[in-house]
Amino acid sequence: MLEIFDQMVRMQGGGDMKICLESAAANDDKMLGAFIKERVGTDIFTNNTQYISLISKITLDKIANKFLNIYLKILYFLTPASIRNEIFIRTSIEERHKWAYDNFSLTRLLQEAGFREIEQMRYDTSAIDHFNEYCLDINSDGSPYKGVSSLYIEAIK
């Protein structure tokens, strides 16, 4: 729940969760580190070239996101005002998230959109034959790509 509340009220990128994660790494908190790895799939104690390349990737991602945000702002202002708010979702700190729903809310939205046989899955289960062979939600070692807390939903339309 803390993660959801933090996303709802944060006034700066990363919010209090960022401070919590940085503190856990700085204080070598193994218990919290193990919890974080299970939740999001990232080892906060990794201190090798993989971590450095991750920092480089994050930096490149930030640069790419800046260009994307500029592009989206241009599109926003070029879009007629009558449909602007239907197309663009804005937050107070301009931070977009790749996740936004809980099982109940997403199921309801999918039903309203005409989907049926809506089922919550795990990272390692799917009605799609041989789905794990594609390594989309699962690492090659069988561990979850983004931690066990991600929401996996399958539905038919």
In the chain, at which residue ranges do the beta strands (DSSP E only) sit?
116-121, 152-156
Q: Which residue has the higher pLDDT, 57 or 124?
A: 124
Which sequence spans correspond to the domains of the chain? Answer: 1-45, 46-97, 100-157
Asked whether the whole model's pTM tops 0.85, one would answer no
Angle at CA 107, nearest 5°, toward 101 and 111? Answer: 130
Q: Name, of 19-23, 99-103, 120-124, 137-141, the range with top average pLDDT.
A: 120-124
Q: Which residue has the higher pLDDT, 150 or 129?
A: 129
**Nearest one of 47, 50, 48, 25 to 35, comparing CA atoms:** 25
